[in-house]
Amino acid sequence: MEKTNTIAGKKIDKSRIISLEKGKIPPQAVDLEEAVLGAMMIDKKGIDDVIDILHSDAFYDVKHQEIYAVIYELFQNSQPIDLLTVSNLLKKNGKLEMVGGDFYLIRLTQKVASSAHIEFHARIILQKYIQRKLISISSEIIENAYDESTDVFDLLDDAEGKLFEVTQGNLKKSSEDAGSLVKQALKKIQEIGNQEGMSGLATGFTKLDALTSGWQPSDLIIIAARPGMGKTAFVISMAKNMAIDFNHAVAVFSLEMSSVQLITRMISSETGLTSEKLRKGNLEPHEWEQLNVKVKKLSDAPIFIDDTPSLSIFDLRAKARRLVSQHNVKIIVIDYLQLMTAGGNGKGGGNREQEISTISRNLKALAKELSVPVIALSQLSRAVETRGGSKRPLLSDLRESGAIEQDADIVSFIFRPEYYGMTEWDDDEHTPCEGQGEFIVAKHRNGGLDNIRLKFTGHLAKFSDLEEGFSSEFQSSMNNPFDDDFSPNQRIEPKDAFGDDDVPF
């Protein structure tokens, strides 16, 4: 929380006091503040140029903060903005005398003749504000650093978080009134209507996008399954779709597989060449041509992979902030949650269930802070394997912590009946399930639930939309063009598909 002192009943920015104590005046541009406010009251174009750049706290002079707040309120209510309307609203709010009366407002309008260069002036005002914020944040960091009871990793995380807020322009706000929130919601609804119902990030899976309207900013999405079901295959397919088809920047934190292994899977999925062939390099001439042509799209895709093992939630936050800031990353994927550690200080922080709860809670906080969807893969307990009848996962099967279910906005499972030797879905039609998987949305905080069937191509570790009329006969005819020994009915173990015993799907 930003520290302030109270003098004569008014809150005074601590950075100003510290600066004056050192004999320095805080960074400011009061003359430009006067010019910008004057221009906004005489020229509508000036308002349009700066209303998205400045906020009331960016002004150094308290009088200017109040005047800008009134201008912004008039703008939000689509009311005319001039000397008279500003004066009237200030009077209504009981702030007219505080800002110097009508005389001061008139003097502001006489400072300028037009709104020329107003955007340039506004950006200088914002720069001075950022300098003042940095002074305030730095002084608070120094003060906390002298406190022996402060955990150094908490201090680092807090410092980086505050600097990230300044960088993003998302300085922490107090509560907002219902009126402004309703306007934001209406604007969002209108934007969704213009995008034909897709309010979030499209995944490339048609039915899933229809159910969720795309992955939503600030959501924590859990995708859970038993080893070998295809968790990694699903998110790799999804990341490739999002980056190549929709040009969304994707960050993947792979705690289990190396970055080269992960990108090799993506190459296999994109080119149609098995990972075994790519690993051994024994390609035919036409396959080399196929590889070189089709890999071009993937090499240009905005995908960022970090394979740091045993990543802590502290390190993840730091890395994620930089990726969002530097590369405009739109979605974060973590493979997988149980391989993360909770503390940056090397302490376990209690039993494993408490640690997973801490990680889950922090992932949700990270999604809200960065306003991006965070997808975390998770293991399921062995209860699925020992249970009789249907092996379809349940929410109670989430491993190690019920907090995962509580914190997540969406909890989903991946289920492939073939893995358990089944040949038909457990529906009334006894539909063949060869080469298919099910994406089960078991919890959806802001939408409906569904079981979405997808096509699974085992030798490429690839999920895709299930074509209409897809059947076992159709799947059986799709023989692997690169491996005569492959059978669609075969239960794929990690070593069969990729040559690595310890790399589950």
- Predicted confidence at residue 350, as pLDDT, reads 57
The catalytic residue positions are 256
Of 449, 465, 481, at which residue does a domain stop? 465
Of 116, 149, 168, at which residue does a domain stop? 168
CATH of the domain at 107: 1.10.860.10
User: 503 by DSSP, 3-state: which?
Assistant: coil
Question: Which of 343, 345, 406, 338 is closest to 376 using CA atoms?
Answer: 338
One domain for residues 138 and 260: no
Judge whether 284 lies within some domain. yes
- Predicted confidence at residue 431, as pLDDT, reads 83
Classify residue 79 as exposed, middle or buried by CB count within 10 Å of its CB (0-12, 13-18, 19+). Answer: exposed
One domain for residues 366 and 454: yes
pTM of this prediction?
A: 0.63
- Predicted confidence at residue 185, as pLDDT, reads 73
Q: Which residue has the tokens 């209108």?
A: 190
Q: Is-contact 410 443, C-beta < 8 A?
A: yes
Copy the structure tokens of residue 151: 């955990």
- Range list of H helices, 95-242: 101-109, 118-145, 152-168, 178-194, 206-212, 231-240
Domain of 89? 24-168
Judge whether 30 lies within some domain. yes
Of 147, 168, 189, at which residue does a domain stop? 168
166 DSSP β-pair partners: none
432 DSSP β-pair partners: 424
Give the N- to C-terminal CA distance of the chain in Å, as an integer. Answer: 44
pLDDT digits (tens, 9 = 90+) for 266-278: 888 888 787 777 7
One domain for residues 33 and 86: yes
- Predicted confidence at residue 475, as pLDDT, reads 41
DSSP for 55-76 reads: -GGG-SSHHHHHHHHHHHHHHH
Judge whether 15 lies within some domain. no
Judge whether 501 lies within some domain. no
DSSP β-ladder status, 374-379 and 331-335: parallel
**Residues in the chain, total:** 505
With both helix axes pointing from N to C terminus, report the angle between 83-92 and 30-42 in degrees, rounded to the nearest 10: 110
One domain for residues 116 and 232: no
One domain for residues 57 and 95: yes
Amino acid at 262: L
Judge whether 428 lies within some domain. yes
Judge whether 76 lies within some domain. yes
Q: Cα(435)–Cα(246) distance, rounded to whole angstroms? A: 26
Number of domains within the chain: 2
Classify residue 259 as exposed, middle or buried by CB count within 10 Å of its CB (0-12, 13-18, 19+). Answer: middle
Q: Cα(90)–Cα(71) distance, rounded to whole angstroms? A: 10
Judge whether 477 lies within some domain. no
Buried b (16+ CB within 10 A) or exposed e, 338-376: bbbbbbbeeeeeeeeeebbbbbbbbbbbbbebbebbbbb
Q: Cα(159)–Cα(409) distance, rounded to whole angstroms? A: 28
One domain for residues 365 and 405: yes
Question: Which of 57, 56, 49 is closest to 70 using CA atoms?
Answer: 56
One domain for residues 274 and 153: no
One domain for residues 124 and 267: no
One domain for residues 155 and 253: no
CATH of the domain at 412: 3.40.50.300
What is the dihedral sign for C-alpha 58, 61, 64, 70? positive
Q: Cα(475)–Cα(442) distance, rounded to whole angstroms? A: 28
Q: Is-contact 71 41, C-beta < 8 A?
A: yes
Judge whether 133 lies within some domain. yes
User: 20 by DSSP, 3-state: which?
Assistant: helix
Report the 10 Å Cβ neighbour count for 464: 16
One domain for residues 361 and 460: yes
Amino acid at 120: F
- Range list of H helices, 177-335: 178-194, 206-212, 231-240, 259-271, 275-280, 285-299, 313-327
Let me know the angle formed at the C-alpha of 399 by 254 and 312, rounded to the nearest 5 degrees.
40
pLDDT string in tens for the chain (505-residue length): 444 444 444 455 555 555 545 567 888 899 999 999 998 888 877 787 788 788 888 999 999 999 999 998 888 777 888 889 999 999 998 989 999 898 999 999 888 877 788 888 988 998 899 889 888 888 888 888 888 887 787 788 788 778 777 766 655 555 566 766 777 777 766 765 655 657 788 888 988 988 988 899 899 999 988 888 888 889 989 998 899 888 899 999 988 888 888 888 888 888 878 777 777 777 778 878 878 887 888 888 898 988 888 888 878 887 888 888 888 899 999 988 888 887 644 444 457 778 888 888 889 988 988 889 999 998 888 877 777 777 788 888 776 667 788 888 999 999 888 888 888 887 777 788 888 888 999 889 888 888 988 988 888 888 888 874 444 333 433 334 333 333 333 333 333 333 333 333 3
- Predicted confidence at residue 54, as pLDDT, reads 85
Q: Cα(70)–Cα(482) distance, rounded to whole angstroms? A: 69
Amino acid at 419: Y
- Predicted confidence at residue 356, as pLDDT, reads 82
333 DSSP β-pair partners: 252, 375
Classify residue 336 as exposed, middle or buried by CB count within 10 Å of its CB (0-12, 13-18, 19+). Answer: buried
Let me know the angle formed at the C-alpha of 218 by 214 and 222, rounded to the nearest 5 degrees.
70
One domain for residues 156 and 237: no
Distances (CA, A) of 22 to 18, 25, 28, 321, 434: 6, 9, 16, 33, 75
One domain for residues 159 and 220: no
Q: Is-contact 240 370, C-beta < 8 A?
A: no
Distances (CA, A) of 222 to 21, 30, 329, 405: 51, 50, 19, 8
